[in-house]
Structure formats: C-alpha cells, structure tokens
Structure 1
Amino acid sequence: MSNLALTYGNQGRWGEAEELQVQVMETRKTKPGPDHPDMLTTMNNLASRTGMLRSMCDLAVTWEDQGRHLDALALMEEVAQGMQRVLGADDVGTRIALATVAKWRRLSLTMQVRT
C-alpha cells in the first residue's frame, strides 16, 4: 500500500496518495506497532505529502498573482481538501487554506458578474 501511495504521488494523484498513506500509517500503528522502524518511514512519507500540499499552495498563490484565477482556485481547493484529510480541520494551515478558497471564490464570482 505504501508503494502504491508513492506511485500515486509520482503521478500527481495527491489526494489518493495521501489517503492511502494515512491508511498505511494507521495500520502500522497496530501491526507491527507504533515503535517499529517502518512506522517512522510511513510518517516520513506522510510528511512529504504535506510538504507537497504546501508546495501546491505556493503554486496556487503564484497563479493567483499571475491572474490565473480559475487555475489557482481549483488547486487551492485541492490543497484545502488534502490538508483537512491529513492535518485536520483545526490545523491553522487548513483554516488558512479554507479561508483562501472562500475569498477566491467570492473574487471569482465578482469577476464573472463584471464580464
């Protein structure tokens, strides 16, 4: 499952990769146990995914700055969903991503009304 999660990540299928990696981590907590060295590897892989989410967030902001509003919004929505799954709804980064999505949606609607 861990290898499949890494493959999904390499294919740009971030959401699926993170979801599967979380399943691997939860399974490894019970079998063979939280102190097993494989658990650390799984946690590192998951941390890499959250790092990827942060990189995606940076790219979304860059696109927004470049006027690529719809691309930026779509990517930020993906980031916010991933952060909710991986970090939880109470995480500061998750809340910022969700607030950014809401703001960009409002701006997008305003731009559509003007055209």
Structure 2
Amino acid sequence: MIAWANLAASYGRAGRTEEAIGIEERVVAVRERLLGSDHLGTVRGWANLAVSYGHAGRVQEAVGIEERVVAVRERLLGSEHPDTAIAWANLAASYGRAGRTEEAIGIAERVVAVRE
C-alpha cells in the first residue's frame, strides 16, 4: 500500500487531484480492512484523503474526515503530539475554507500554543 500512497501523493503534487483521490480512497479501504480503523497508518491515509478532498473543493468531506483524524490522534497520541497538532492545523484550514472563521481561529491559537 505504501507504493499506492506514494503514487497518490505524486498525482496530488502534479495537480491530478481526482486520480489521487481514487487511489487514496482505495488505500484507506484496504488499510481499514487489514489494520483497523484506529491504526495510525489508516489514520494517515484518512488525513491524506482529506487534503485531496480539500484541493478538489470537497470541503465538507474534508472537514468530516479531519475531525475524525483529530479525535483518533488525540486518543492514541495525546493532545501535545506533533502529529495531533498537524491534524488540528489541517482542520483549522478546512474550517476557514468552509467559512467557519471563528472556529478556525480558535483552533489555530491552540496549535500555536502546542507548538510553542
């Protein structure tokens, strides 16, 4: 699955967002089946898919996934872990794109505090 995930990332960097999404959806489905929904590899797949959804203008779908990623990373890694902070920052960016500015600001302030 790593090769597929890498190909999806390359497609994303090349602006081939829909192709990246198709692969990322497949990667997530396989990882969930093999590793479980709370495995960090699966969560990383979800996070990558959310980014691609955001690039494709599918902001509400990205928000839903990012909320899930935040919840799982906080539970597994803790609220101070760098990967959790990244998940919160991604969620803040999506909230901003979705017009949820005050929520985005609150989350961004939290991310700054954690990273300091």
What band does the TM-score fall into relative to the shorter chain? 0.5 to 0.7
Amino acid at match of 2:61: D
The whole-number CA distance in structure 2 between the counterparts of 1:72 and 1:86 is: 21
Matched pairs, number: 69
1:89 and 2:82 correspond: no
Gaps (5+ residues) in structure 2?
1-31, 101-116
Larger radius of gyration: 1
> Sequence identity, in percent?
27
- 1:26-48 deviation per Cα after TM superposition (whole angstroms, max 9, x unaligned): xxxxxxxxxxxxxxxxxxxxxxx
Match of 2:51 in 1: 61
- 1:43-69 deviation per Cα after TM superposition (whole angstroms, max 9, x unaligned): xxxxxx011100110010111111111
The whole-number CA distance in structure 1 between the counterparts of 2:58 and 2:93 is: 15
1:73 and 2:40 correspond: no
Gaps (5+ residues) in structure 1?
1-8, 19-48, 111-115
TM-score between the two structures when normalised by the length of structure 1 = 0.54
1:98 and 2:95 correspond: no
Tell which has more relative contact order, 1 or 2 (C-alpha 8 A, sep 6+): 1
Match of 1:39 in 2: none
Q: CA deviation at 1:92?
A: 0.4
